[in-house]
Structure 1
Amino acid sequence: MHKHMAIAVLALAGALAGPAARADGHYVPGVEGLQAASVPPPGVYYLGYLVNYQMDRFRAPGTSDNLPGHNRGTVTALANRFVWITPHQLLGADYGMEAIVPVMRTSLTVNAAGISDTRSGVGDVYLGPLVLGWHGPQWDAVAAAGVWVDSGSTGHPASPGKGFQSTMLTGGLTYYFDGAKTVSGSALMRFERNGKTDAGFRPGNQVTLEWGLGKSFGAWQAGLVGYSQWQTSDDSGPGASTHRASRHALGAELVYPVPGAALFLKGALYQELRAEAGTGAQPKGSLLRFTLVKAF
């Protein structure tokens, strides 16, 4: 029970590998929002995602019912994302690559499972050798592929590593409803094919959809954001069941460019409206995210 509970409540990813705001894969929804599918122009970029995920309840395995007793958790993560968009093109798109290095601290108190644990460390790293960004008069599109490497430490419920490797494919579109690009709608989808742990347990594959509807007000941008995440195949291996996890959230985001600094600041708050557990317990809570985007 402890093993599968840990699988259900820990994170990777940040960014990205970070908070436990997901079903059973590495990617944590809520780190992207407005204009999520818009790739920047050629250059080198740093994106820092500071995320705090408050788990105020846990769903019992295979249900949308809460586990009994006092069950709480907190994950604070900084996902360090490094992006290089080269001056070269591939298939008519700007070609780039990226890497994500998450650092996190997780605290879990799940009395229903006998868990009380706090750990800090570097989570599983993401390596993305393929990022493609297309740009039209009133639209942007992205496609990407990469691997979450099994590099973080494991062994405890709050350990930062997941204990398995995942392949992640990404696709998305941003559309601007006016020629001045002041009103936008975006959708970004991630698909993860999860590998096996050393014990032979394989979490089911999952799909994550992040979306945003934004409006510019001078330098500021504000809008509604949300995410949904679904487990698309059954878990397999020791202790697996046919139950599939899911979660859905709604929130708001603000974006502010710092004049003359090639810097963007973003802030978003999400509230999860629904969550269903798969093989292990599934957290449900709220996510607060601050993002710094720096161009070099």
Structure 2
Amino acid sequence: MKIKKMAYLASIAIAATIISQAALATEGGGSTYPMGAENYLVGALPPPGFYTLFYAEHYTADTLKDNNGNTVPINFKVTADALIPRFVWVTGNTFLGGQVAHAILIPLVRLDVNVNGTGQTKTGIGDLDITAVALGYHHSNKLHSVLGLDIFVPTGDYDKNALANIGRNYWTIQPVYAVSYIDPAGWNMDAKLMFDFNLKNKDTNYTSGKELHFDYSVGYGFANNWVAGVGGYAYKQITTDQQNGINVPNNKGQAFAIGPSIKYDNGKGFFITAKYQQEMDVRNRPEGKAFWIKALLPF
């Protein structure tokens, strides 16, 4: 029920130690956007007002996949925990026939990385996600959509020589389209499509490739405002990375995730969703699992 989601989190910047031993898609094998963060009601803006969304994630991975989908023989484990408030202002204005809204997301992250017996843990604020503008459309009482533009700001702690980084150290421009079909007594379907334009990390002279990905959920409504089904994400890196202006070969990433998903909506402006997702069909990235909770609190 909100505008695009999230800032950084478990984008797990696994860092130089792993990069030196295996080809990874995008710098550090992660992304600015935490894949699979969204769930039910992603494409439906509420009435004008101020809203607070809360996201919480627990992500773990101990397998790294290469360009052929084979497991890389590296002993490593990544654990990321995040609490992520998103403050949303749905204005009373309209533009091009849509509700105008703005938002900011502030991720609070704890990241633990261990590679071949060497570990590092960092805690702090990650990269901010600013929804510069979002336009919400209500095509019917069941079909809704949002068109918007997110900007990820490199505010998180970063050190090019560190094993764990909770910031990416580069800007990302992300156009977003989200759509929701909502039926309390029938099928519910949601998708959030994103395309990431990553700018250069000036500390490493590295530019991660463009990324196409979408979060999804499909469920069925039953008694007392509950919806149950499945959710996850699909991810594909479209262009190759570059370092010092030279293409990095055989490093485009991909992944797919799916798992059970559930939602409760009290019909009075509050809802909460929960999702578990397992990653699979992974290339040039870590393969792990995540548990997500999302809640909307109107005020």
Scaled by the length of structure 1, what TM-score is found?
Answer: 0.86
Q: Match for residue 18 of structure 1?
A: 9
Cα shift readout 1:204-244 (whole Å, capped 9, x = no counterpart): 01011111112221221111112101111110114851320
Q: Match for residue 126 of structure 2?
A: 123
Which of these residues, 54, 60, 69, is aligned with residue 60 of structure 2? Answer: 54
Q: Match for residue 254 of structure 1?
A: 262
Which of these residues, 184, 200, 223, is aligned with residue 196 of structure 1? Answer: 200
* Amino acid corresponding to residue 230 of structure 1 in structure 2: K
Q: Match for residue 22 of structure 2?
A: none
Q: Does the C-alpha gap of structure 1 residues 122 and 116 become closer, same or farther in structure 2, counting only changes over 3 Å?
A: same
Following superposition, the deviation at residue 276 of structure 1 comes to 0.3
Aligned partners of 1:35, 1:223: CA distance in 2, in Å? 13
* Amino acid corresponding to residue 137 of structure 2 in structure 1: W
Following superposition, the deviation at residue 254 of structure 1 comes to 1.2
* Amino acid corresponding to residue 251 of structure 1 in structure 2: G
Paired residues for 1:29-48 under 5 Å: 29-48=35-54
Paired residues for 1:1-296 under 5 Å: 15-20=6-11, 24-60=30-66, 62-111=67-116, 115-137=118-140, 138-155=142-159, 156-176=162-182, 182-198=186-202, 199-217=204-222, 218-238=224-244, 241-242=248-249, 243-258=251-266, 262-277=269-284, 282-296=285-299
User: Unpaired runs of 5+ in structure 1?
Assistant: 1-12
Contact 1:55 1:286 in 2 (8 A): yes
Contact 1:191 1:205 in 2 (8 A): yes
Contact 1:256 1:266 in 2 (8 A): yes
* Amino acid corresponding to residue 38 of structure 1 in structure 2: A
User: Unpaired runs of 5+ in structure 2?
Assistant: 13-25
Contact 1:14 1:28 in 2 (8 A): no
Aligned partners of 1:183, 1:57: CA distance in 2, in Å? 35
What's the Cα RMSD here?
2.1
Following superposition, the deviation at residue 295 of structure 1 comes to 0.8
Q: Does the C-alpha gap of structure 1 residues 28 and 285 become closer, same or farther in structure 2, counting only changes over 3 Å?
A: same
SS in 2 for 1:267: strand
SS in 2 for 1:25: coil
Further displaced range: 114-123 or 163-172: 114-123
Contact 1:220 1:256 in 2 (8 A): yes
Aligned partners of 1:38, 1:257: CA distance in 2, in Å? 13
* Amino acid corresponding to residue 147 of structure 2 in structure 1: A
SS in 2 for 1:18: coil
Cα shift readout 1:257-282 (whole Å, capped 9, x = no counterpart): 3576x4222111001122100xxxx2
Aligned residues: 274
